[in-house]
């Protein structure tokens, strides 16, 4: 069973539809037992960090998520919430990754929206992807490049486009909106 974390953030439906196209029927849930029983967990999101973390804490999902042992994939806001802290709402996050999330500088157009190249790709999520692959981004905040970084993108300065640690994977971009390349990344995750 593939579980999508329900936490009052947007974009769950587009990830669900992408999985349906791949032949999977995911469960959208905020039930701790269901999340713990899933073979894979996806943590999608479009929204605001403080509100999302409040929901996770109030429903006991913060402790559940950080203790999962199966492959876990955070997308966009999901990735940011996996970091230690976000400038958005001055929010303490899950702390799976030590990186901090910052807002793009005033010199950059916000949000960073559209297709951009991912570089320095490493690890199983990017197996079979050509160098210079373009994927779709929509975000105003970014995680710093750090030791867990498995891909970068440049928007002004480089930022983490992907991160991984143990069974936890995260993508700043939206694989579900990135055409065939994004589909390949989701397939690679589901094969872990």
Contacts of 1 (CB under 8 A, 6+ apart): 26, 27, 34, 37, 38, 39
Per-residue pLDDT tens for 105-128?
Answer: 888 899 999 999 999 999 999 999
Catalytic (active site) residue 174 = yes
Which structural domains are found in the chain, ordered by start? 2-190 (3.40.50.880)
Catalytic (active site) residue 76 = yes
Tens-digit pLDDT profile for the chain (192 aa)? 999 999 877 778 999 999 999 999 999 999 999 999 999 999 998 889 999 999 999 999 999 999 999 999 999 999 999 999 999 999 999 999 999 999 998 888 999 999 999 999 999 999 999 988 999 999 999 999 999 999 999 998 999 999 999 999 999 999 999 999 999 999 999 999
Catalytic (active site) residue 93 = no
Q: Catalytic one among 16, 88, 99, 176?
A: 176
Q: Catalytic one among 16, 20, 76, 112?
A: 76
- 61 and 31 Cβ atoms separated by less than 8 Å: no
Q: Output the CA–CA distances (angstroms, integers) from residue 11 to 15, 101, 151, 176, 178, in the order listed.
A: 7, 20, 22, 9, 14
Helix axes 179-190, 12-21, angle to 10 degrees: 80
Q: Catalytic one among 88, 108, 174, 187?
A: 174
- 38 and 2 Cβ atoms separated by less than 8 Å: yes
pTM of the model: 0.96
Per-residue pLDDT tens for 16-36?
Answer: 999 999 999 999 999 999 999
């Amino acid at each position: 069973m593939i579980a999508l974390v329900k936490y009052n953030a947007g974009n769950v439906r587009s990830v669900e539809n992408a999985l349906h196209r791949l032949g999977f029927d995911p469960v959208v849930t905020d039930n701790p037992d269901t999340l713990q029983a899933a073979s894979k967990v996806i943590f999608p999101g479009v929204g605001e960090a403080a509100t999302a973390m409040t929901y996770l804490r109030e429903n006991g999902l913060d402790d559940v998520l950080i203790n999962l042992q199966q492959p876990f994939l955070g997308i966009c806001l999901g990735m940011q919430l996996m970091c230690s802290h976000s400038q958005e709402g001055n929010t303490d996050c899950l702390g799976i990754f030590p990186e901090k999330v910052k807002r793009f500088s005033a010199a950059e157009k916000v949000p960073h929206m559209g297709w951009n190249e991912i570089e320095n790709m490493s690890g199983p999520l990017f197996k079979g992807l050509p160098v210079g692959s373009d994927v779709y981004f929509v975000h105003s905040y970014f995680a710093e490049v750090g030791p867990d970084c498995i891909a970068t993108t440049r928007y002004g300065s480089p930022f983490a486009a992907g991160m991984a640690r143990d069974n936890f994977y995260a993508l700043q971009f939206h694989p579900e909106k990135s055409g065939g390349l994004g589909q390949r990344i989701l397939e690679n995750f589901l094969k872990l």
